């Protein structure tokens, strides 16, 4: 029983970080229905940004998170303005193609600059706390992952309030539901898409900054997270920010329970199998509205 | 013209260009297969490579354990992958749009650890295909067993054969009642169901046609590489390249994937050969440029290159041709 509870606790913490990786995609893909295969590359850029600022200026990732979020917001807006705005006029499949090109470009650009070596952030606040544990009964909870998870939760809640409770969020939703009708009431769709790309990119970069405390920083770091993020958004249901959080927690728990009881090699396979199983009963995802 | 293409290179000893031709034809063929589900039936399938893997493994197992030759194995592989595809696809046709797409990714993700651990197919070590060496060109064409010189050319023609068969098959399907059903389901699923089309059956049939093509491609690739292992046949490129060929050429157009493969594969191969070596080797410069080219095509021509007004240009050229001598 302790093993099980421990696995659930570990899974929930990982799930919070997955939620932060996935929520950017929940905006770009889930809400605005645009496909972005380069999602993980923005996360990787966030990781490299955190590593670079830590090595060169000695900034802790918890500080560099803020300027990096601002820079990556700009990068996301730029990607939309220069590339995706044109691509959007074609078939939706073209978005796959364009963002695969972006993936090649960004990933190999980083390879060219920094090589494919693994890098680690040393001496940051969270890595120095790595020995610290909280004990709840028999369950041990590592402090660094807990702090990371709580930051993720805070960002997540702020975003949920922004999307679901403000006029701006309503405008975003209106744009995705009916572009022409949104224009009629004075919303400028291209600006909304640009903001969505900026927000999505900034959020996943922040996720990368936090993850850089726990995982190796290297140019190919994004892919496995991207695939999981897509499954999480679909599992949560389209257009539901809260659904993404729930799905991410579920994915974290399924992974760690599988790894604890069955085979660690199959932990992602079980996540995807549960996606298919749940999909058979709820084709619109757990909290999807359409 | 395409038939004769490799012979000059064969004479001058550039086996390399035969490999490029082989990969162009293979990816064009896979693209035509993907176009059936992606272009006509309008369903996102991000994980078609599981059928590529099933095809390659089935033929390899039949060859190693039962001594079936490659062409028999190809038939077996197509049957096996179509049956598996039908069984896997029917349940997930309950899912629509993006949800369906992620279900196909999910199958690919589940296939990876199975491929890496299943003892029957030797886990991540894979299977090696021991072919008999040097029995001449005709024997090679009949068995897909080539060794040494002539292998490049032989596989080029094998790929051409399968490619031509796929193109012909796709043309037949495009004009058959199924072709119209697929497009009806893509354009308006409720409307199609209203006139009595079983949309779930259509999606299953479309994906099974794709699976058959991918299985055949997998067999060809397995005998070309002389080995089948999970990291190679379940590689992401077998998903992305055929899909990209379709999108570059023009989604839902019969010749779209062919044009796309003819453009994309040589660019990537030649850039790997030129920029992948030398002082900047391993720094991914070739892939940076490749990515930039892809973004330029996508941003410049979001509906595919076949959407350009080729017919009008051709007509203008034809119109100008005879007019010029009269004017000059």
3-state secondary structure of A139: strand
Task: Kindly report the nearest CA distance between residue B95 and chain A, in angstroms.
Answer: 5
DSSP A216: -
3-state secondary structure of A142: strand
Q: What is the pLDDT of residues A100-129, one digit of tens each?
A: 889 989 988 888 888 888 888 877 777 777
Chain B: residue whose CA lies nearest to A81: B299
Q: Which residue has the higher pLDDT, A130 or B324?
A: A130
Give the pLDDT band of residue B168 (cuts 50, 70, 90). very high
Is the CB of A234 less than 8 angstroms away from the CB of B299?
Answer: no
Give the pLDDT band of residue B283 (cuts 50, 70, 90). low
Task: Kindly report the nearest CA distance between residue B184 and chain A, in angstroms.
Answer: 17
Is the CB of B243 less than 8 angstroms away from the CB of A111?
Answer: no
Which value, to the nearest 10 degrees, does the dihedral of the CA atoms of residues A62, A68, A69, A70 take?
130
- For A77, half-sphere exposure in the C-beta direction (CA atoms, 13 angstrom radius) is 11
Is the CB of B291 less than 8 angstroms away from the CB of A103?
Answer: yes
CB B25 within 8 A of CB B167: no
Q: What is the average per-residue pLDDT within B157-174?
A: 90
For chain B, percent of residues with pLDDT exceeding 70:
87
> Which residues, including other chains, have CB under 8 Å from residue B179's CB and lie 6 or more apart?
B40, B173
Does residue A171 register a pLDDT over 50?
A: yes
Q: Which residue has the higher pLDDT, B9 or B256?
A: B256
Give the pLDDT band of residue B323 (cuts 50, 70, 90). very low
Is the CB of B300 less than 8 angstroms away from the CB of A86?
Answer: yes
A112 lies within 8 A of chain B by CB: yes
Domain A2-281 annotated CATH 2.70.98: no
Which pLDDT score, from 0 to 100, does residue B14 have? 53
User: CA B67, CA B116: separation in Å to the nearest integer?
Assistant: 24
* Domain boundaries defined on chain B: 6-235
Q: What is the pLDDT of residues B206-250, one digit of tens each?
A: 999 999 999 999 999 998 888 888 888 888 888 888 888 888 888
Q: What is the average per-residue pLDDT within B63-69?
A: 87
Residues of chain A neighbouring B292 (CB-CB closer than 8 A): 101, 105
User: CA A248, CA A245: separation in Å to the nearest integer?
Assistant: 5
Give the pLDDT band of residue A139 (cuts 50, 70, 90). confident
Q: Nearest Cα to A114, choosing from A25, A216, A230, A242?
A: A216
A104 lies within 8 A of chain B by CB: yes
A74 lies within 8 A of chain B by CB: no
Compare CB distances from A105 to B117, B248, B295 and report the shortest one's residue. B295
Q: Which residues of B296-309 are buried (b: 16+ CB within 10 A; e: fewer)?
A: ebbbebbbbbbbee
Task: Kindly report the nearest CA distance between residue A176 and chain B, in angstroms.
Answer: 15
Is the CB of B299 less than 8 angstroms away from the CB of A98?
Answer: yes
Q: How many residues does chain A have?
A: 290
Q: Nearest Cα to A229, choosing from A267, A257, A271?
A: A271
For chain A, percent of residues with pLDDT exceeding 70:
98
B308 lies within 8 A of chain A by CB: no
Which pLDDT score, from 0 to 100, does residue B207 have? 94
CB A231 within 8 A of CB B102: yes
User: CA A235, CA A163: separation in Å to the nearest integer?
Assistant: 19
Cα A147 to chain centroid distance, Å, stands at 17
Residues of chain B neighbouring A272 (CB-CB closer than 8 A): 105-107, 109-110
Which pLDDT score, from 0 to 100, does residue A43 have? 93
What is the average pLDDT value for chain B, to the nearest integer? 82
Chain A: residue whose CA lies nearest to B297: A98
Helix-helix angle B70-92:B98-117, to 10 degrees:
130
Q: Which residue has the higher pLDDT, B70 or B132?
A: B70
DSSP B306: G
Q: Nearest Cα to B52, choosing from B24, B30, B21?
A: B30
- Give contacts of A 131-190 with B, CB under 8 A: none
Q: Are strands A133-136 and A139-142 parallel, antiparallel or unpaired?
A: antiparallel
Give the pLDDT band of residue B279 (cuts 50, 70, 90). low
Does residue B15 register a pLDDT over 80?
A: no
Does residue A143 register a pLDDT over 90?
A: no
Q: What is the pLDDT of residues B17-49, one digit of tens each?
A: 778 888 899 999 999 999 999 889 888 888 899
Which pLDDT score, from 0 to 100, does residue B328 have? 33
Q: Which of B109-113, B270-274, B302-306 has the highest mean pLDDT?
A: B109-113
Q: What is the average per-residue pLDDT within B133-159?
A: 75
CB A62 within 8 A of CB A126: yes
Does residue A72 register a pLDDT over 70?
A: yes
Check: complex ipTM more than 0.85: no
Q: pTM of the full predicted structure?
A: 0.83
Q: Nearest Cα to A97, choosing from B250, B167, B284?
A: B250
Compare CB distances from A101 to B99, B246, B298 and report the shortest one's residue. B298
B272 lies within 8 A of chain A by CB: no
Q: What is the pLDDT of residues A177-228, one digit of tens each?
A: 888 888 888 888 888 889 999 999 999 999 999 888 888 888 888 888 888 8
Which pLDDT score, from 0 to 100, does residue B218 have? 93
Q: What is the pLDDT of residues A43-67, one digit of tens each?
A: 999 999 999 998 888 888 888 889 9
Which pLDDT score, from 0 to 100, does residue B4 have? 46
Q: Which two tokens stand for residue A46?
A: 């966030």
* Dihedral sign (CA B260, B265, B270, B272): positive
Q: Of B12-21, B48-57, B305-314, which gets the smallest average pLDDT?
A: B12-21
Q: Of A87-96, A149-158, B136-145, which gets the smallest average pLDDT?
A: B136-145
Q: Are strands B127-128 and A139-142 parallel, antiparallel or unpaired?
A: unpaired
For residue A135, which phi and psi values (nearest 5 degrees)? -115, 130
Give the pLDDT band of residue A79 (cuts 50, 70, 90). very high
Residues of chain A neighbouring B103 (CB-CB closer than 8 A): 275-276, 279
* Domain boundaries defined on chain A: 2-281
Is the CB of B99 less than 8 angstroms away from the CB of A283?
Answer: yes
Residues of chain B neighbouring A103 (CB-CB closer than 8 A): 291
Which pLDDT score, from 0 to 100, does residue B142 have? 74
Which pLDDT score, from 0 to 100, does residue A274 have? 87
């Amino acid at each position: 029983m302790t093993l099980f509870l421990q696995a659930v606790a570990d899974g929930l913490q990982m799930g919070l970080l997955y939620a932060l990786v996935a929520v950017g995609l929940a905006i770009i893909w889930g809400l605005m229905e645009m496909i972005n295969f380069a999602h993980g590359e923005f996360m990787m850029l966030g990781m490299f940004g955190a590593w670079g600022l830590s090595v060169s200026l000695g900034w802790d990732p918890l500080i560099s998170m803020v300027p990096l979020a601002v820079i990556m917001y700009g990068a996301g807006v730029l990607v939309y303005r220069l590339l995706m705005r044109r691509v959007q006029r074609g078939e939706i499949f073209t978005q796959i193609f364009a963002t695969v090109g972006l993936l090649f470009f960004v990933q190999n650009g980083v390879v060219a600059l920094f090589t494919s070596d693994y890098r680690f952030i040393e001496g940051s606040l969270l890595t120095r706390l790595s020995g610290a544990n909280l004990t709840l009964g028999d369950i041990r909870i590592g402090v660094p992952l807990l702090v990371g998870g709580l930051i993720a939760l805070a960002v997540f809640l702020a975003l949920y309030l922004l999307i679901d409770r403000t006029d701006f969020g309503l405008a975003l939703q209106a744009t995705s539901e009916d572009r022409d009708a949104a224009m009629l009431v004075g919303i400028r769709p291209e600006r909304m898409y640009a903001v969505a790309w900026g927000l999505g990119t900034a959020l996943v970069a922040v996720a990368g900054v936090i993850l850089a405390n726990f995982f190796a920083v290297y140019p190919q770091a994004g892919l496995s997270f991207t695939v999981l993020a897509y499954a999480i958004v679909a599992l949560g249901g389209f257009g539901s920010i809260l659904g993404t959080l729930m799905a991410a927690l579920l994915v974290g728990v399924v992974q760690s329970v599988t790894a604890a009881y069955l085979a660690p090699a199959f932990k992602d396979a079980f996540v995807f199998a549960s996606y298919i199983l749940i999909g058979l009963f709820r084709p619109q995802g757990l909290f999807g509205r359409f | 013209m395409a038939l004769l293409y490799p012979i000059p290179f064969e004479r001058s000893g550039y086996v390399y260009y035969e490999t490029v031709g082989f990969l162009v034809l293979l990816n064009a063929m896979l693209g035509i297969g993907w176009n059936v589900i992606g272009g006509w039936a309008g369903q996102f399938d991000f994980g078609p490579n599981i059928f590529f893997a099933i095809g390659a493994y089935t033929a390899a197992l039949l060859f190693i354990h039962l001594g079936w030759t490659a062409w028999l194995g190809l038939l077996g592989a197509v049957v096996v992958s179509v049956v598996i595809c039908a069984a896997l696809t029917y349940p997930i046709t309950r899912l629509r749009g993006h949800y369906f797409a992620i279900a196909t990714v999910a199958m690919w993700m589940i296939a990876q650890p199975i491929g890496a651990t299943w003892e029957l197919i030797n886990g991540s070590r894979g299977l090696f295909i021991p072919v008999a060496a040097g029995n001449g060109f005709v024997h090679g064409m009949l068995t897909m067993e080539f060794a040494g010189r002539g292998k490049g050319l032989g596989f080029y023609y094998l790929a051409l054969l399968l490619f031509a068969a796929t193109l012909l098959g796709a043309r037949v399907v495009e004009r058959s009642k199924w072709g119209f059903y697929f497009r009806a389901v893509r354009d308006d699923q409720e409307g199609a169901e209203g006139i009595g089309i079983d949309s779930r059956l259509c999606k299953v049939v479309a994906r099974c046609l794709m699976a058959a093509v991918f299985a055949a491609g997998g067999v060809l690739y397995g005998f070309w590489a002389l080995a089948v292992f999970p990291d190679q046949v379940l590689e992401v490129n077998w998903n992305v390249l055929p899909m990209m060929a379709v999108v570059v050429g023009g989604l839902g157009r019969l010749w779209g994937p062919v044009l796309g493969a003819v453009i994309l594969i040589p660019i990537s191969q030649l850039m790997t050969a030129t920029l992948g070596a030398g002082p900047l080797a391993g720094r991914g410069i070739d892939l940076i440029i490749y990515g930039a080219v892809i973004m330029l095509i996508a941003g410049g021509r979001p509906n595919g290159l076949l959407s350009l007004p080729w017919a009008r240009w051709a007509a203008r050229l034809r119109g100008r041709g005879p007019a010029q001598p009269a004017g000059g």
